[in-house]
Every structure is written in C-alpha cells, then in structure tokens.
Structure 1
C-alpha cells in the first residue's frame, strides 16, 4: 500500500512543494511546528532512514542541506533544526524546522497558516533553492 508521501509524489494528494529532483522531494508540512517547516523525502518508498542505501542517504543529506540553506534565506530564524522521527508516516522523511527557541522542535505545537500563506511561502523557499 502506498504511503501518504508516495501519493504526494504521484500527484494523488496535493502538497506545497519547495524543491524536487529525480530522487527527492521537499514540501511544507501541513501541520508545521513553525512557519517554514519542510519535509524532505526520497521518492523511493523506504520506511526507515537507516534502511537507505549509503549513496541514497548521502544524496538525501545533500538535498536536505540545499533546502535548509534556502529555508534560512527565506524564513527569519536563529537556525534551522533537523529531526528524523519517522513515526507519523512509514516513509523516510527529514524535518527541517526554522528555530527561534527550543519549543519550535516540540511536535505537539502547530502553527496555523492559510492556504495562501502556504502557497506564498512555498514559492518563496523554492525561489531560493539551488539544486
């Protein structure tokens, strides 16, 4: 059965995409801890990050780094935090979260954003991504 993220990759479920190449996709989390919370995923459906082949893991980190740099250019923050939790969706994903304090890493806190705010933010981040 396809995961939610596989459905996003296939275009069956909409997403606010910020970066994409042949192997990876980055999009805004719809329940963000902070404005600009991004998920970076491999297009290949693999449950756990440690199950990725070494080369794919390294490429995911390169992709994630590029998205993080763009995120930092776009969203005012002290730094961009990274987390790999993996309990929500059984598909490898890296959280990039703009941080101004430690509470921004608390996954029980969510920021409300309108559809237009998501669209505008996704376009702004995408404009700063250098793949």
Structure 2
C-alpha cells in the first residue's frame, strides 16, 4: 500500500508543495512543530534513509539544502534544524525545521494545527525564495 507521501506525490491527496523535481518533493508538514516545518522526500518509496543508494542520499541532501535556504529566508529563525526520524511514515523523509531554540525541534511537544489557508500562504512565501 502506498504511503501518504506517495499519495501526495501521485496527486491522489493534496499537499502544500514547496518544490519538486523528477526525484524529490518538498511539502509543508500539516501538523508542524513551528510554521515553515517542511518535509523533503524522495519520490522513490524507500522506508529507511540509509537504504537509499549513495547518489540518491547525496542528492536528497542537496535538494534539502536548496529548500532549507528558502525556508530560512521566509521564516525568521537562527537556523534550520534537520531531523530524520522515520518511524511515523515508512517512507524516507527529512524534516527541515526553523529554529530559534532547541525546543523548536522537540518532537514530544504538541504540534501546531494551522489552517489550510495558513499553510498555503506559508508555502507561497517559501516558494518566493526559491
């Protein structure tokens, strides 16, 4: 069964897409830790990041860098934190999280629940810096 990310990639369900090429996609997390929390995902459905071949892993990080720099311009922060957890969705993904403190990347705290309009506006703002 396809993961939720594959379903977004295939346009079966909506997602707030920031950037996309033939191998990767970046979308906003719909329940972010902070506004601007973005997921960078390879289109190939591979569960564990270290099961990616070397080229795909390297290219994933280069794509994440490009997106992360745009997020950093769109969302005032000290830096963009990166996290790879991979337990909640069995499809490799990298979290890019605008950070002003260590607490901003604490996944055990309650997540935000922004409206679709808020997410759309954030996606547009980030895209403007790509």
Instruction: Please list, as runs of the form range in 1=range in 2, the aligned pairs for 1:16-35 lying within 5 A after superposition.
Output: 16-35=16-35
Instruction: Summarize the alignment of residues 47-66 of structure 1 with structure 2, pairs less than 5 Å apart.
Output: 47-66=47-66
1:83 maps to 2:83 = yes
Give the match for residue 99 of structure 2: 99
TM-score by length of 1: 0.96
- For structure 1, which runs of at least 5 residues remain unmatched after alignment? none
Aligned partner of residue 80 in structure 1, secondary structure: strand
* Runs (4+) off by over 4 Å: none
Q: Give the Cα separation in 2 of the matches to 1:70 and 1:14.
A: 22
TM-score, with structure 2 as normaliser = 0.96
Displacement of 1:2 in angstroms is: 0.6
SS in 2 for 1:128: coil
- In structure 1, distance between residues paired with 2:73 and 2:114: 20
Partner of 2:5: 5
Alignment root-mean-square deviation, CA: 0.8
Structure 2, unaligned runs of 5 or more: none
| C-alpha displacement of 1:65 | 0.3
